[in-house]
Amino acid sequence: MPRPAAFLDRDGVLNRSAPLHQYITSPKQLRLLPGAGGALRNLQDIGLALVVVTNQQGVGKGEMTLNDLDEVHQEMTARLASFGVHLDGLYACTHLESAGCACRKPRPGLLLRAAAELDLALGQSVMIGDSPADMEAGAAAGCGTRVRILRPGDAKDPYAYVVCRSLPKAVRWLAVHRAAEATATSIGKR
């Protein structure tokens, strides 16, 4: 039976983003954002599969190798495991933005692939990201909820269902929202 998931962008949601036009190319550069581990644990505890979906065109540009990217992801996975977090999937588009591939967000390819491979219910899933491309990918894939992490100065996002200032705040909102939906559903069945 398909299960709901939390699709999560990586840079700017789980870890600090690299400076503009630069990439996190080694595990030493990876800095989890405050509260990210606990927030993912909370998502896991409410029954959501955890799937990271990330654009990483630094590989396509030759600024890092697939091995470099794998090492960064292994380090992230290990750090999250220290919070009791298990990632169900980690999907990366390494193509150049100009390649026009189906997997680079804002296209939904990474989410659709993960849903097919992991038996996920997209309509019951949430996309959490920090860019319009994340929200567009979630909408195109059919994610029932989309949460945008806004930084100071960011504009509102028409594809976002709700906006929050951090992953922990987004998860708190989502937990309340899911509890309210469950209550409404159980009342409707009486």
**pLDDT tens-digit readout, 35-46:** 999 999 999 999
From residue 22, give the alpha-carbon distance in Å to each of 13, 61, 168.
17, 11, 26
pLDDT number for residue 156: 74
The two counts, helices (H) then strands (E), for the chain are 5, 6
pLDDT number for residue 123: 96
Q: Which residue has the tokens 């999907």?
A: 91
Structural domain boundaries, residue 141: 5-188
pLDDT number for residue 187: 61
Coil vs helix vs strand at 78: helix
pTM (two decimals): 0.93
**pLDDT tens-digit readout, 87-116:** 999 999 999 999 999 999 999 999 999 999
d(CA 18, CA 185): 42
d(CA 111, CA 7): 7
Per annotation, catalytic residue among 11, 130, 134, 157: 11
pLDDT number for residue 157: 78
Residue 51: HSE in the Cβ half-sphere, 13 Å Cα cutoff: 29
Read off the CATH number of the domain in which 121 is found. Answer: 3.40.50.1000
Write b or e for each residue in 76-96: b if 16 or more Cβ atoms lie within 10 A of its Cβ, otherwise e. Answer: beebbeeeebebbbbbbbbbe
From residue 172, give the alpha-carbon distance in Å to each of 38, 41, 100.
11, 12, 36
Annotation marks residue 11 as catalytic: yes
pLDDT number for residue 184: 64
User: Which mean pLDDT values do the consecutive 10-residue runs of the chain (190 residues) have?
Assistant: 97 94 96 97 96 97 97 98 98 95 97 98 96 96 93 75 90 87 62
Q: How many domains does the chain have?
A: 1
